[in-house]
Amino acid sequence: SLQTNQLDICEGQLVDITAETWDKVIESLTSVEVTRAELPLPIALPPSGSTGSDAGAISLPSNNNKIRVYLVLVYDDIISAMIELSARVQELVDVVARELVGSTQYNFKTTWGGSRLDHNRSIGSYNILNGDSISFVTEQVSGNPVIYLYSSSDVDVSVKLSLSPEWSFSAIYPIVALKQEHGQHVEWNVCTHQDGSLTERNSGLDVSYLFWEARTNSDAFPHSPTSELQLVDVLSPTSSTLGDMDSIVISVDKVTVYLDKLLKALGLHTEARTSFIT
C-alpha cells in the first residue's frame, strides 16, 4: 500500500493513496511511504446452507481448472472463493452481492492490480493467479435530484444538463434523447406555469419537476491528467474534497436546522428543502 501524511486532509496521519486518487495528489507530494504486508488469512463467509469442513470458503461450480481468489470488500472484509478460470467476473460479483445484501441484483465495481475488470470477461483472460486479491467497491449513485422551475408567467425555456465522463444517466423524466460529447447530456424544452408545474413541449407531459439520476461510469477510470482539464467545476466521484473552505463542524442535533436555513438562503422552497434533507 502507498501512504502519505503530506496532504492537508491527513492531519499528520498516514492515509492510503488509492489508484483512483493517485493522479490527483501526486503533484502535491515529495515522498510516499510504501508498506508491504502479507494478505491475512480470511474468515470467509460460508454460503447459505453449506456444511462440512470446507464451509469456510465459497466454492462455485467448477472443474479442476480453478483457482482460489480473495475478494476484498468494504471495511477490508475478505471472502475466500474458488472459481473456474473460464468463469466470468460477474460470478464473483454475484457471490459478493449474495453475501452482503442477499441478492445478486446489486452492482459493484471490481479492481485487480489497480485495473478495473469487465464483468463479462473471464477470470483467466486477466491472468489472475491463485491467491490474488480482487477488490469490490459499491457503485455510487447520485440519488434522485430534481430541477424545479418557477416564473411569474408562462415562459418557454430550455434546460440543459451535462455530466462529466465519470457519470452516466440511469434515469431521466420526462424522457428525451441522450447525447454524448465529452460526457452525456440532455436538453428539456418546457413551458413553465405560474403554479410551478411544467409542460414538456415534445410529449405534452405535465410534470412538477424535471427528474434525473446518474451512476458512476467504470469506463471513465482511471483518468489521465490531461483528461481532467475542465473549463468549469464538475462533480467527479474520484476527486471530491473537503477542507477548511467548504466544511463546518456542527453537532448532530443541529444538522437538519442548519441545512434548512442554508437551503432556504439558496432559494429552495419548502418541498425542495424537505426532499433534500430527508
Which among 148, 140, 141, 276 has a CA at the least distance from the CA of 211?
148
Q: Is residue 64 within 8 Å of residue 33, measured between CB atoms? A: no
Q: What is the pLDDT of residue 102?
A: 60
- C-beta atoms surrounding 229 within 10 Å: 6
Tens digit of each residue's pLDDT (9 = 90 or more) over 21-79: 787 788 888 888 887 765 544 444 444 333 333 434 444 444 458 888 888 876 557 88
Dihedral angle at the C-alpha atoms of 10, 11, 14, 16, nearest 10 degrees?
Answer: -10
Phi first, then psi, for residue 98 (nearest 5°) are: -65, -40
- C-beta atoms surrounding 249 within 10 Å: 4
Distances (CA, A) of 96 to 70, 88, 166, 249: 11, 14, 24, 36
Of the listed ranges 15-19, 67-71, 141-145, 257-261, the least confidently predicted one is: 141-145
Distance CA 139, CA 7 (A): 26
Mean pLDDT score of the chain, rounded to an integer?
A: 77
Which among 198, 200, 201, 175 has a CA at the least distance from the CA of 186?
175
Higher pLDDT, 195 or 199: 199
DSSP H/E element including 80 = strand 78-84
Question: How would you classify residue 14: left for phi > 0, otherwise alpha for psi between -120 and 50, otherwise beta?
Answer: beta
Residue 186: pLDDT above 60?
A: yes
Residue 175: pLDDT above 60?
A: yes
Task: Look up residue 216 and give its three cell numbers.
Answer: 458512476
Reported confidence tier of residue 259, pLDDT bands at 50, 70, 90: very high
Peptide bond into 222 cis (omega under 30): yes
Which among 80, 118, 119, 112 has a CA at the least distance from the CA of 99?
80
CA angle, corner 202, sides to 200 and 206, nearest 5? 30
Distance CA 203, CA 132 (A): 52
Q: How far apart are the first and last CA of the chain?
A: 38
Q: What is the pLDDT of residue 198?
A: 93
Those residues with Cβ within 8 angstroms of residue 267's Cβ, 6 or more apart along the chain or in another chain = none
Task: Look up residue 172 and give its three cell numbers.
Answer: 431521466
Average pLDDT over residues 12-17: 78
Q: What is the pLDDT of residue 225?
A: 42
Reported confidence tier of residue 237, pLDDT bands at 50, 70, 90: low
Task: Look up residue 164 and give its three cell numbers.
Answer: 462529466
